[in-house]
């Protein structure tokens, strides 16, 4: 295998990139062609090719202020990241990448790698063969629902307390805002047209969200979401009352999964529990369309846990000469 390096994203590689991402074990929007993530970054993109020149894996890195190299996309806006590799070729691709970088000093920091990934399971042993360390540490958990065949079946699966609270809040919203409705927007033009409404609600939700959604982040959202919507990868939801949106969610969709990517709320409508009410519409819609999973993505906020998901782990993997393995994080077979 041959490893090639590039310091920019070449549009000519976009189709090959998406082909590898489409053949990967993990298929999600964060791993597709990521030119929108590259603004202002010094890039270090590594392509692994077989003897015929076919791309088998891509490791898109960028340099951070500390001099480390992190996966493009970054933990700030990407909930799942990993080596982008054709399924079944991950370990040989990692072996080639590690051998090619053995003399480098910069650390590689891979955020948000899902627990089942070969990167988590196999990298410590592979790194050791070339004199490197790979430190695998639990980073966060993602609450995930396996969806049943009907909304009633889902409600029946909840504990009595959570089922009572959810149905009570839905009924209160219907009683106090009888004209209220959930609206979903799909398609690039429609998503672009209503992004301003989402951004306004997002910034109003709380101070931290207003700080997060600065000019650079708004440019990212305005570029990324319509682009993903061209491939049916985005749904923009609103809960409306009295003719105005009071809650909004951006959902990403991939491989039978609906992912809750970001949110916004009108603080003055908090008594109506607009977030929980709108979430019930999202989950009901996902079930009706036959989706297998509803993924709340990273973070264990209380409102997510009220829907009684299971928690799936994601890891931070650090590779370098000073990255000693942590023995409790990757016991035989799987991470802790």
pTM: 0.89
Distance CA 74, CA 80 (A): 9
Amino acid 222: pLDDT: 93
**For residue 257, which of 286, 293, 309, 283 has the smallest C-alpha distance?**
293
Please give the structure tokens belonging to residue 175: 């009683």
Amino acid 65: pLDDT: 76
The pLDDT tens digits for 292-310 are 999 999 999 999 999 999 9
The pLDDT tens digits for 179-234 are 999 999 999 999 999 999 999 999 998 877 878 888 888 988 999 899 899 989 99
């Amino acid at each position: 295998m041959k490893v090639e390096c590039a310091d920019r994203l070449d549009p000519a590689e976009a189709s090959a990139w998406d082909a590898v991402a489409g053949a990967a074990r993990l298929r999600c929007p964060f791993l597709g062609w990521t030119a929108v993530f590259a603004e202002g970054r010094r890039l270090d993109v590594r392509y692994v090719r077989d003897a015929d020149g076919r791309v088998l894996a891509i490791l898109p890195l960028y340099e951070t202020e500390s001099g480390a190299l992190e996966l493009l996309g970054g933990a700030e806006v990407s909930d799942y990241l990993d080596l982008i590799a054709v399924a079944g070729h991950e370990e040989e691709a990692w072996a080639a990448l590690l051998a090619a970088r053995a003399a480098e000093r910069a650390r590689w920091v891979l955020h948000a790698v899902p627990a089942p990934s070969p990167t988590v399971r196999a990298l410590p042993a592979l790194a050791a063969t070339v004199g490197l360390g790979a430190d695998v540490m639990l980073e966060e958990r993602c609450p995930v629902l396996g969806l049943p065949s009907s909304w009633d079946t889902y409600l029946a699966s909840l504990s009595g307390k959570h089922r009572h609270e959810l149905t009570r809040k839905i009924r209160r919203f219907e009683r106090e805002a009888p004209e209220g409705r959930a609206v979903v927007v799909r398609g690039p033009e429609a998503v672009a047209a209503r992004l301003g409404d989402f951004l306004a609600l997002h910034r109003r939700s709380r101070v931290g969200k207003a700080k997060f959604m600065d000019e650079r982040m708004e440019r990212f959202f305005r570029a990324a979401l319509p682009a993903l919507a061209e491939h049916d990868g985005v749904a923009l939801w609103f809960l409306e009352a009295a003719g105005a949106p009071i809650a909004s969610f951006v959902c990403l969709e991939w491989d039978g999964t609906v992912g809750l990517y970001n949110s916004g709320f009108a603080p003055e409508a908090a008594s109506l529990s607009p977030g929980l009410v709108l979430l019930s519409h999202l989950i009901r819609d996902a079930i009706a369309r036959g989706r297998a999973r509803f993924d709340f993505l990273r973070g264990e906020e209380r409102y997510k846990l009220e829907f009684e998901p299971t928690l799936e782990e994601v890891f931070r993997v650090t590779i370098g000469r000073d990255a000693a393995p942590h023995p409790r994080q990757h016991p035989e077979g799987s991470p802790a």
